[in-house]
Structures are given as structure tokens and as C-alpha cells.
Structure 1
């Protein structure tokens, strides 16, 4: 498995689907915004911490972004191929990331970096093609996670176009139907752990089939189900949106699936940050993202949707403060209970975190 998606790329991004360090000079061109509704408790349900050559995002960088005024009480780190063990059995090397993030989370818990419980939840990686043999890997994650390990992500986004980089775990198409992968997913179910899936929108039927095969497995669909707006998907956008919407509504019929809302920046589903002179305001993002996000919320319901920052990936196109302002603008018509679920409650329930509502 390669970490090329997060590798040592520098300067302004020039291609879609690759993870560049944020261009801070370009981000500084954006209009400064104060955090809207700053008292709303937020669980950032999906971000990354890593240190690759030329691309670092650890506690110092994350807390700089958290300082923008939103009340982020807790966060969930999602796997990104960082800090794997250097030796030992290949299938066990990913546990190094959980060990590393648990250490950062313990350091953050000291209060040195503010009140946010950074990394309260950890979604790591375990190769589900191991089938039932994945149990030992998951047990090691649990042992090293200090109570923070909540599940694994299996990123299987696959497209046959050379213009659409495939996900890092996607060794071949239709992996979620592989009998060994389903056996591995059944181990997650039996251990009470979650399965995060990352696919492209034209693969959502694979997620539905997995949910039907394992109805007691809690499945978390990343990034609004993977809409794409670049390459061949930059044409006939209305047609692609319709196909995505149909698949999303079908997924929502499976009660064991929840949906993460966000993470659409890097795949160009709306805002073209590659060619923009300056970052968007939250008003612009509200207009661009509303159709995608409200479709998910209407389909799944607020109690099965949770907002994610996908930072620092989405930082290639927007600041943390503006991102959450856009989310708050999009949900202005939601009830108080719906907003509590979207911004914190669903993530707490899904990943078995502390209750933000109990925070004083």
C-alpha cells in the first residue's frame, strides 16, 4: 500500500484527487469570518493526523485550525497510512498508526492544546481481505488504542478512468463483494466495531449489497457517498447528480448505514479550488453544497448523518472556520434536535464517544 495520496507534493494543486499541503498564502486571500453559532458543540467526525515528507498535520497544525472560534469538543481520526510499523508481519503494520494517534490523543487530553478531545475516536486500517484472520489485527488495534479504537476503514473507491485516482485500498473493483472481505466485515460486526467505507458514487450499490448481507454491521459511508466532479464526471453534471441521488436514497433504506456529510472538496464535486483566485466564503459554499448535503439529510434523517471536516484534505480549498460556517448556514432551517444530531449526536452514538450535550 502506498501513501502517495498524502505524499510530498508542494505548491498549488494542479490535479484532482491528490492530497497537497495547503497553500497558506492562497488561503489567506479568503475573507476572514467569525465562527457562526459558536456555542454549538461539534464532534468533528472525520479528520486526519499525519507526518509525511513535505506534508505534516499534527496537533500543532490542527489546534491552529481549531482556534477559529467553533466549539469542537471532540474529534475522530480516520486512517491515512501514517506511522505504520517499520517491520513485523505486513498485516500488523497498520496498528502503528493507532498507537501513534492514541499517543497524540493522550497528549491532547492533558489540556496542553486546548479543551478539544482530539482523537477521542480512532478509525484505523485492517486488511479485510484477511477474512476471519483479521480478528488478531483488530484485537491489537484495541490493545494499542487506549479505549479510542472504534473501527476500521476500507477505502475501495475504484474507477477505470486514468483521470480519477483510485483509493489507496482499492486493489481491484468490487472488493466489497469479495467473500473474504465480507468475512472480515463480519468480524467487525461480532466485535462491535464500525466499518467506514469510501467508494465513488457509482459504487454505492456495492455498499447496499454489503449492508443487506450483514444487517447488524454498522456501516459509515464517507464523504456523502463519493460524488466526483472532475475528469469524465465534469460533464453531464446533472445526470451524475441524479445517479448519485438515486443511490443515496437507496442506501438510506438500509437502517445499518449512516452517512458522513462533507469531504467533497478534493474530488471537485462543487467548488473548483484548482483554478480559483481565492478561497470561497461560507455563503458561496452554502449555495454550492446545499443540494448534496440536504439530499443526504433528507434521505437518512439527521440522526443518521454527521458532519466531518476531512481536514487537512479539504484545507486545500477552504479554512476550518469557513467550512463549519457553511455547514451551519446549510442547516439553519433544521430544528435544535436535528442540529444536535448532525453536529455531534450521531458521531457520538456511532463511535461511542462521550456526550457533548453534557459539556458545560
Structure 2
């Protein structure tokens, strides 16, 4: 099967520091001590099996030096052809955010920015402990992405969806790419309802699309049937024309093989039309990440 993988994390801790891997430890997503200290296109393609990976979108890996990370990724792309698109980290709350953007934008493969925004009452799931989207300076710097022609990878929890939808409405000239199908973290009836409603709030904004990925982070012993409702509910909310599949490797590799992940997605959407499947596995990625 042919795919474009729209959410991969390349790193090499000997080239660019990745603090959460040195030393690694337990996280809600799994035991990070089992993650490799180097993961690039070489390791991904070696483990791809019968999956033909046409192109790769690399999303920043919370490195200790985001600009060095982007430059290293661009070097990889020039040497080996991957990643085809880079989504870099910029702290949009910083006084020098505009300069950071300009520095990253020198890399030809740059397509977007991600600053993780996840806030949760449980410290196990909380990433940043700060509501960036409510901060005027952060919002002002976000609007600068349009001038660079950059998208914004939106990583939030369902409780943050309403504010994120407002943000998207105020920035119609920026493409927002929702990470990991909106990260349904609270796996109970109320959590499902909040996630489902949040998806629809975001999908009501035509400049928001989503990646279906990262599901194994909350479902370590997943089966096709356990993933099915999350995949289908996301497609129901956004439509096949605004969904992209992705692996979230090597993080999801703690709980799944690379080919097994893609074949699970394919089985879940087996009843979709050929055109719809082509869009979700290849065409939408080319369109939204401009690759």
C-alpha cells in the first residue's frame, strides 16, 4: 500500500539534544526507555515492510534546540530526500518569536509550526501547564504564520477545542492541522462526548483539517475494533477530504509495528471509495502540506 506519513519524529540525540530522552522514563504514551536514540528515514523505511512510504512529514520532537533541529532535518532531506516537509517548533509566546520564524523559514522544506498546547488537570497528561491560546502576545505571533505561508499543527485536548475553534475562525488565512484526531485522553462516556463535540466545533472551521494518528498512545493493547470508533468518528466529523492518516512513529512503535498500524487503518476504511482512500492516505497530505 502507498502512503504519505504525515506525522513522524526523526531525532538523533548525538546531533541535537532531546531532553525527554536523556534520561528517558515512563510516560502515558509508554516506556520511553524503549525508544531508539536515533530515528531517521533509514530506520523508518527499514521497518516499513510492505508499506510504500512515498513522502514523510517530520513534526518537531521537543528537542532542546528547535532551530538546530530544523537545520539538521533540512540536511537529512538534502542528503536522503526525507523528510519532504518539516514542521518546526517556535515558542510563539517569546519576545523574539518573529526572529525565530524567520530563521526556521530559511529551510526550504519548512511547511509549518507546532507548539504543543496540551493542558490537563492530571499532571500525567499535562504538557505545558499554561493556556497559550488565551495569551494576546501568543495569538499575535501566531497570526504571523500567514505571512510566511505556514500552517499550524494544533496539538490540544478536547477541553481546549472551543478556544482553538475561535482561534481558527480569527485566522482564516492559516491552515490548522489537528494532531492525533484531537487526542481523546479521557476514555469514559463524558470524555467521549467532549471529544466528539470538540471535533465538530473544529470541523466547522473550514481551515481546520486533522491527522488520524497517535491512537496507540492511549490504547497500548489496541485492536482494529478498539481503534475503529475513533477513526470513523473523526472521518464523520471532518469528511474524508479533510483527514490524513499518520504513524506517529517511533512513539506509537512502542505498541505497534509500522506496517500493522497502516494496515489497521486500511481495514477500518475498507468500505470507503477508492478516491476517498487515496485522499486520506496520499492526496490530502500532498495538498495540506504542499509536498
Aligned to 2:54: 73
Structure 1 match to 2:71: 99
Deviation track 1:103-161 (CA, whole Å, cap 9, x = no partner) reads 1122212xxxxxxxx20000001111136x42322221121x2x200011010101121
Match of 1:137 in 2: 100
SS of 1:259's equivalent?
A: strand
Cα displacement string for residues 48-83 of structure 1 (whole angstroms, at most 9, x for unaligned residues): xxxxxx6321233222222x0111100000001337
Could you tell me which residue of structure 1 aligns to residue 200 of structure 2? 249
Aligned-partner Cα distance in 2 for 1:204–1:97:
29
Q: Which runs of 5 or more structure 1 residues have no equivalent in the other structure? A: 24-53, 85-93, 110-117, 274-279, 354-360
Bigger radius of gyration among the two: 1
Please, which of 135, 143, 150 is the counterpart of residue 193 of structure 1? Answer: 150
Question: Contact 1:78–1:122 at 8 Å: present in 2 too?
Answer: yes
Equivalent residues of 1:5, 1:18 under 8 A apart: no
Report the TM-score when normalising by structure 2: 0.88
Paired residue for 1:226?
A: 183
- Residues in 1 aligned to 2:19 and 2:69: alpha-carbon distance in whole angstroms: 16
Instruction: Give the count of matched residue pairs.
Output: 275
Structure 1 moving runs of 4+ over 4 Å: none
Aligned to 1:287: 225
**For the residues of structure 1 that align with 2:33 and 2:282, how far apart are their CA atoms?**
28
Deviation, structure 1 residue 191: 1.7
User: Which residue, 233, 238, 244 being the options, matches 2:189?
Assistant: 238
How far did residue 18 of structure 1 move?
Answer: 5.4
1:272 to 220, 224, 242: 220
Residue 347 (structure 1) aligned with residue 246 (structure 2):
no
Asked whether 1:159 is paired with 2:114, we answer no
SS at match of 1:63: helix
Residue 261 of structure 1 is matched in structure 2 by 212
CA distance in 2, matches of 1:239, 1:301: 24
Cross-structure match for 1:38: none
Given candidates 44, 48, 63, the residue that maps to 1:62 is 44
* Residues 1:19 and 1:351: Cα distance change in structure 2 (over 3 Å): farther
| Contact 2:105 2:148 (8 Å CA) reproduced | no
Q: Given that residues 224 and 261 in structure 1 are in contact (C-alpha distance below 8 angstroms), is that contact kept between their aligned partners in structure 2?
A: yes
Would the alpha carbon gap of residues 6 and 221 (structure 1) be closer, same or farther in structure 2, given more than 3 Å must change?
A: farther
Residue of structure 1 equivalent to 2:138: 181
> C-alpha root-mean-square deviation of aligned residues, in Å?
2.0
What pairs up with 1:206-221 in 2 under 5 angstroms? Answer: 206-221=163-178
Cα-to-partner distance string for 1:170-205 (whole Å, 9 max, x where unaligned): 251x21121111111110022210011111122111
Q: Residue 315 of structure 1: CA displacement?
A: 0.3
Does the CA-based 8 Å contact 1:8-1:55 persist in structure 2? Answer: no
CA change 1:185–1:15 in 2 (3 A) is closer
Alignment-derived partner of residue 12 in structure 2: none
Structure 2: give runs of 5+ residues left out of the alignment. Answer: 1-16
TM norm structure 1: 0.72
